[in-house]
Amino acid sequence: MLLSKSSYPLRIISDHVHGKVLGDPELVIQGLCTLDAPQPNHITFIRAKGILALSRALKSLGNCAAFVLDQEIPNDVELGTTSLVLVPEPYTAFLDSVELFYHEEPHVAGVDSTATIHPSATIHPTAAIGPYCVVGRGVTIDAHTVLGPNVRVFEDAHIGESTVLNSGVVVRERCVIGKHCIIHDNTVIGADGFGYTPDKTLGLRKVPQLGNVKIADRVEVGANSCIDRGALGSTTVGFGTKIDNLVQIGHNTTIGKFCIICGQVGIAGSTVIEDGVVLSGQVGVSDHRRIVAGVRVGGGAPVTEDILEPGDYFGHPLLRVREWHRHQVELRARMSRRNAPR
């Protein structure tokens, strides 16, 4: 949870982001706001390039400040009561200023009295184990790691340094989570993969899921997501990848570095997703597919074949974006001709 801190004169904020003040350097800034909903004595950012776009953005700000692109501002631009901080990248400066106004609620190291810890577990003294957590046999929890309320870590799992498992997270047997990761509420890491084979007696016989999940450093996984364990080997998520809420990742899937997996994406088992891939919301990926580095797939599109060339893809069936747009133009033209009066 982010807690509010103190106020600062604009010059302090400008110095913090290595900017230049245009306007009142002593304007007291109390927090951050959006450009759509400006608040007095707060600061926002303007991405507008060009004097006309900047002038339009400034009209509604009033007694508010804004980070703007470091460019020459002509004398005829009317600032009124608005003050500006000129920086090379307004949004980056806005993000950098967050630490001046907010900080994470501190976690107290130690084990809550209601937690259940197996005697063989290794917990670093700087880790914080919250109420009603259960830590199983042979678990290792490294320095500065935080387990929120009702977290369950099963046997022989390893949670890396400075990782945060929020309330209700489940980490199953032998799974490994790296350093500086964030796993949001009620996500399950390492549940059984969806593996069955036809059987004359049982109808469907369950295939044992004996592998694990390996998550690299600086990965974030949203709430209510599921990453299934491998049937024999590992399901892996690469360094710096970000996964949204309500995502399903099937067993033995390999996801590379710096990927973005948006909400309600479903990835079937044994799929390989290379570095930097973006899957927009509700994309579905069939099993045993390969998606090469640099691919971006638009929302709701099905991936039923390998994608072996970088680029943007969309539609059903899946096409390169330019080709999809061309098909849409052709389709509309045909519909117009069909509906034209005769």
Catalytic residue annotation? 251
9 burial class (0-12, 13-18, 19+ CB within 10 angstroms)?
middle
d(CA 11, CA 29): 10
Structure tokens at 2: 């982010």
d(CA 339, CA 109): 71
Structure tokens at 337: 């001709």
Residue 246 CB coordination number (10 Å): 18
Q: DSSP characters for 74-107?
A: PTT---TT-EEEEES-HHHHHHHHHHHHEEEPPP
Would you say 298 and 318 are in contact if contact means Cβ atoms under 8 Å apart? Answer: no
- 3-state DSSP percent of the chain in helix, strand and coil, to 5: 15, 30, 55
